[in-house]
Amino acid sequence: MTNLNQISRRDVLKLMGLGAGSLYLSACGLLPSASADPTAAPVFSTPFTPASDLPLLSVDLTAGRGALPIFSGAETSILKYQAEVKEGGGESIQTLSDSYLGPIFRVKQGQRVQVRLNNELPDPTIIHWHGLIIPEAMDGHPRYAIAPGKSYDYDFQVINRAGMYWFHPHPHQLTAPQVYYGLAGLFIVSDEEEAALGLPAGEYDLPLVIQDRIFDSQNQMVYGANGMMDAMIGFLGDTILVNGAPDASMDVKASAYRLRLLNGSNSRIYKLAWQDGTPLSVIATDGGLLEKPVTREYITMGPGERVELWADFSGRNAGSEMNLVSLPFTDFSGGGGMMGGGMMGGAGLPNGTPLDIVRLRIGEKGADVTPLPSQLSTIERHDVNNAVNRNTPRSFRLAMQGMVHTINNRLFEMDAVARDEIVRLGDLEVWEFVNLEGGGGGRGMGMGGMNMDMPHPMHMHGVQFQILDRQIARGFESAYRELSSGFVDDGWKDTVLVMPGETVQVLVRFENYTGMFLYHCHNLEHEDAGMMRNYRIEG
């Protein structure tokens, strides 16, 4: 078991090395490499029970370098997944031209998917299918990371309900830079229940991936220029990109749209709203459709979270615009200017800075609008009384210790599972994330007199969960209330934002596969710095 006394000087230097990440593309190898054994060939014996006669989808994804004209002038060096469909392609794979973002998978529940990942990066990599419930060898644990030149074969059946999932690299200590330089894609699942609703489809189904970056005067992405500050707080950019495009605007028709939002940023939190104050109609979260649409004045999205909106522009005039913005809120890592980057220079915009996200320019009349159904799906609510640990939640204390964030005083260890990280297949449990030890708040200051209270978007692999309860500690309420009415906790989730001072309880059933899975903070710099652990589902 690692505790902080065991964090060596080398680990600290590694963290600082993370800060040299802007060298990543040019001087790869400076970054610590994953310790997975590249010769350890994955062994699969996934027992498939093809639930249907749906066609097999087989795709090669090559992770490699590329360049794109993102701005006028010099092209931007990027990393990208190139897709090559081997079988069952058709409409299942949508490539985004002019974007570093990976292809969009569009598959049906029950479909079998084979992916060969070819690593043409200068560093180890592996793909994780965020939100999908698949066997452990398919899940992209960092111990399966493959060396440059190697490949990894995925073969799984999609058992998730309809929803927008996504995929991204997951090699130890390299997830954040690899995502940052462009490696991420969407994995959209549909099912029959959803199809029967007649929701906006085709051109009216619009995924919007929101990310932030910093570009230098040569149009190159800059990562980690603030060294350890970035590792502690998380990367914050100064330029918002939607689907890989800065200053994004899109032409839409006067019709209803299904807008599928992913916060694909490394660490930024958004408070999304329509600029004109139109309420947002939310129809889905991480794990798919809500039972009923809900309305929000704004929605709060932490990294890794998804939200789907139903937006009806049919009554709007041609030539008008609907602007999605991020509203201002108080920065929690409240050292203010210090943490906001004043000290280090060249930093991005602090969390809470008001931002333009995307401009939708409304044009001609589009397809007739089918009214949004009042019932979208049924969600069987877990009952806390059925939880095996209902009186003693499995508790995870999130804390700032030294220069890293820990979970129950531990950092990530590649193969370790502690005794309190073992669960039983079939059990329903209460998991509790407790964010009271940021070092700031009412508890005095952390690092060098700076307040390090930070939100942690906590993510679990291998499951979808339901949110049971949120409690905010005294002294943290006012900052909390600037964001808390934007949470959408009604549906299935795989990532939940745990605010400073907050305790969030979730109900989770480990019902599908045994094996070792991860839970971690989806602030990717926190994750890379070790705010991640294994848990094991035992049969």
Residue 488 is a binding residue for Cu ion (CB under 5 A): no
First to last CA, the chain: 23
* C-alpha distance from residue 132 to each of 48, 73, 97, 115, 520 (Å): 16, 39, 25, 14, 16
If contact means CB under 5 to 8 A according to the sort of partner, which of ligand C2O, Cu ion, none does residue 168 touch? ligand C2O
Q: How far is the CB of 495 from ligand C2O (least distance, A)?
A: 7
Rg (CA), the chain: 22
Residue 456 is a binding residue for Cu ion (CB under 5 A): yes
> What distance in Å separates the CA atoms of residue 416 and residue 407, rounded to the nearest whole number?
14
Residue 146 is a binding residue for Cu ion (CB under 5 A): no
Q: How far is the CB of 526 from Cu ion (least distance, A)?
A: 3
If contact means CB under 5 to 8 A according to the sort of partner, which of Cu ion, ligand C2O, none does residue 456 touch? Cu ion
Residue 214 is a binding residue for ligand C2O (CB under 6 A): no
Q: Which of residues 126-145 bind ligand C2O (CB under 6 A)?
A: 128, 130
> What distance in Å separates the CA atoms of residue 24 and residue 36, rounded to the nearest whole number?
20
CA 402-403-407 angle, to 5 degrees, is 75
Q: Which of 316, 405, 459, 533 binds ligand C2O (CB under 6 A)?
A: 459
Q: Which of 304, 393, 462, 530 binds ligand C2O (CB under 6 A)?
A: 304
Of 306, 323, 419, the residue nearest 362 (C-alpha):
323
How many residues of this chain bind ligand C2O (CB under 6 A)?
10
Residue 518 is a binding residue for ligand C2O (CB under 6 A): yes
Whether 63 contacts 117, CB under 8 Å: yes
Range in contact with ligand C2O (rule: CB under 6 A) among 108-116, 365-373, 409-417, 517-525:
517-525
Residue 264 is a binding residue for ligand C2O (CB under 6 A): no
- In the bound state with ligand C2O, the residue whose beta carbon lies nearer, of 161 and 168, is 168
- In the bound state with ligand C2O, the residue whose beta carbon lies nearer, of 170 and 253, is 170
Residue 80 is a binding residue for ligand C2O (CB under 6 A): no
Q: How far is the CB of 462 from ligand C2O (least distance, A)?
A: 10
Q: How far is the CB of 501 from Cu ion (least distance, A)?
A: 14
DSSP 433-469: EEEEESS-GGG---GGG------EEEEESS--BEEEE
If contact means CB under 5 to 8 A according to the sort of partner, which of Cu ion, ligand C2O, none does residue 498 touch? none
Residue 433 sits at φ, ψ, to 5 deg, of: -105, 120
Range in contact with ligand C2O (rule: CB under 6 A) among 224-232, 252-260, 322-330, 514-522:
514-522
- In the bound state with ligand C2O, the residue whose beta carbon lies nearer, of 296 and 493, is 493
Q: Which of 170, 260, 268, 382 binds ligand C2O (CB under 6 A)?
A: 170
Range in contact with ligand C2O (rule: CB under 6 A) among 263-271, 317-325, 371-379, 516-524:
516-524
Record the tokens describing residue 343, joined without a space. Answer: 């000290």
Residue 168 is a binding residue for ligand C2O (CB under 6 A): yes
Q: Is 121 exposed, middle or buried (0-12, 13-18, 19+ CB in 10 A)?
A: buried
Please enumerate in sequence order all residues whose Cβ is within 8 A of that of 99, keeping only pairs 6 or more positions apart, or say none.
68, 243, 244, 245
If contact means CB under 5 to 8 A according to the sort of partner, which of Cu ion, ligand C2O, none does residue 526 touch? Cu ion
Residue 175 is a binding residue for Cu ion (CB under 5 A): no
* C-alpha distance from residue 320 to each of 313, 317, 364, 512 (Å): 10, 6, 11, 48
> What distance in Å separates the CA atoms of residue 172 and residue 539, rounded to the nearest whole number?
27
Residue 526 is a binding residue for Cu ion (CB under 5 A): yes
Mask for 102-141, x = binds Cu ion (CB under 5 A): ----------------------------x-----------
Tokens 């990543």, located at residue: 24
Question: Using CB atoms, what's the residue nearest to ligand C2O?
Answer: 130
> What distance in Å separates the CA atoms of residue 437 and residue 151, rounded to the nearest whole number?
41
If contact means CB under 5 to 8 A according to the sort of partner, which of ligand C2O, Cu ion, none does residue 518 touch? ligand C2O
Range in contact with Cu ion (rule: CB under 5 A) among 61-69, 363-371, 459-467, 479-487:
459-467
CA 55-514-160 angle, to 5 degrees, is 35
Please enumerate in sequence order all residues whose Cβ is within 8 A of that of 154, keeping only pairs 6 or more positions apart, or say none.
113, 114, 115, 116, 117, 127, 129, 138
* C-alpha distance from residue 372 to each of 281, 316, 369, 375 (Å): 10, 17, 9, 9
Of 272, 345, 354, the residue nearest 308 (C-alpha):
272
Q: How far is the CB of 126 from Cu ion (least distance, A)?
A: 12
Of 212, 222, 266, 182, the residue nearest 21 (C-alpha):
222
Residue 261 is a binding residue for Cu ion (CB under 5 A): no
Q: How far is the CB of 23 from Cu ion (least distance, A)?
A: 24
Q: How far is the CB of 449 from Cu ion (least distance, A)?
A: 21
Residue 522 is a binding residue for Cu ion (CB under 5 A): no
Residue 460 is a binding residue for ligand C2O (CB under 6 A): no
DSSP helix, strand, coil percent of the chain (3-state; round to 5)? 15, 40, 45
Residue 14 is a binding residue for ligand C2O (CB under 6 A): no
- In the bound state with ligand C2O, the residue whose beta carbon lies nearer, of 123 and 139, is 139
- In the bound state with ligand C2O, the residue whose beta carbon lies nearer, of 111 and 534, is 534
How many residues of this chain bind Cu ion (CB under 5 A)?
6
SS3 category, 486: helix
Record the tokens describing residue 392, joined without a space. Answer: 């003693």
**Residue numbers at the binding site for ligand C2O (CB under 6 A):** 128, 130, 168, 170, 304, 459, 461, 518, 520, 522
Residues of this chain that interact with Cu ion (CB under 5 A) are 130, 456, 461, 521, 523, 526
